[in-house]
Structure 1
Amino acid sequence: MNQLRSLNIEHVSLAELIRQEISRGSSLGSTVERTLRQESLLSDETSIALARRWFWSRKPDAGFALTGFPATLLQAKVFDEWLDARDENLTGVIAAADSSESLVEHYRTLGLLLEGEALSAA
């Protein structure tokens, strides 16, 4: 992550967005906190709401590395719509080992999934 800072690329994690929202004491933060206390996974709707606040408040075309979002195909499609609305594009996607096959296939089909040699070069 230090390399990202030296390249002036913001690292954004869904976990950090969750912590920030809970510390704000907002209604969304309260919902997230309640859900996590019950040891449940966040719904797509909640994850999208958390990411939406960050995405639309950032400078357009500012570089970022995003972890923990999108985690589902629905989240990826919504994220794609946000990028399209701002006329922005992803450079590449590195899927976590536990990513769903539909999410991986989505980015593979778009030619964005960095795998094997492409990942080594990145």
Structure 2
Amino acid sequence: MRLVLLGPPGAGKGTQAALLSDTLKIPHISTGDLFRANISKGTDLGKQAQEYIDAGKLVPTEVTANMVQDRLEQDDAADGFLLDGFPRTIEQAELLEKMLAEKGLHLDHVINYVVSEDVVVERMLARGRGDDNEDTIRTRLEVYRTETAPLIEHYQDILLNIDAEGNVEDITATTLDALDK
């Protein structure tokens, strides 16, 4: 099963990804983890990403997409994967579709975790991270609405909307039911 997780920051994607990955026996592929792994291993892509990060810039789509493509070519992803953090834009979605099409593959579903902005703010403030204040959180939500939310329409034919305001176990059960697993 090839899946993408969508949802605003604080929707619980990372938590659900870990649980779903374990249940479905497919790797959870997070762009944050890919960046850290490539940088720590000193790969060419990691060095490129580090240059942008050190300059305080966003890592370009091309570098991120190349990291994702390398990861999808590993043996454990042959029978499926769960992408978290990629794609974030329509441009990235089109690159992913091209990568998969070259192998005769496609996404099975895109899971969209739906949660209200107030719940997101409450959850993120409760984490107690230094960079999580209400203004920062609301700015991140605005970036999500502008850049990533258009993917909801882009993927409407394979989209599964999941209410992400309950407890973790209920959200996981609802997701698995929607996937018919």
TM-score (structure 2 length as normaliser): 0.57
Bigger share in strand: 2
Q: Tell me, yes or no, if the aligned pair for 1:60 and 1:86 is still in contact at 8 Å.
A: no
Larger Rg: 2
**CA gap 1:116/1:26 in 2 versus in 1, 3 angstroms:** closer
The runs of at least 4 consecutive aligned structure 1 residues that moved more than 4 Å come to none
Structure 1 counterpart of 2:167: none
Aligned residue pairs, count: 119
Q: Give the CA RMSD over aligned residues.
A: 2.4
* Aligned partner (choices 23, 27, 39) of residue 6 of structure 1: 23
Instruction: Identify the range of structure 1 (16-25 vs 80-89) with the bigger mean alpha-carbon deviation.
Output: 80-89
Listed as ranges, the gaps of 5+ residues in structure 2 are 1-17, 114-140, 164-170
Q: Who is 1:103 aligned against? A: 151
Alpha-carbon deviation of 1:60?
6.5
Q: Which secondary structure state, in structure 2, belongs to the residue aligned with residue 114 of structure 1?
A: strand
Provide the rounded CA distance (Å) in 2 between the counterparts of 1:95 and 1:115: 5
Counterpart residue type for residue 150 of structure 2: S
Which has the higher relative contact order, 1 or 2, with Cα contacts under 8 A spaced 6 or more apart? 2
Between the aligned partners of 1:4 and 1:27, the Cα distance in structure 2 is: 28
Indicate if the aligned counterparts of 1:44 and 1:72 stay in contact, CA closer than 8 A: no
1:69 matched to 2:86? The reply is yes
Q: Does 1:112 align with 2:158?
A: yes
2:46 pairs with one of 8, 23, 29 = 29
Please give the TM-score of this superposition, normalised by the length of structure 1: 0.81
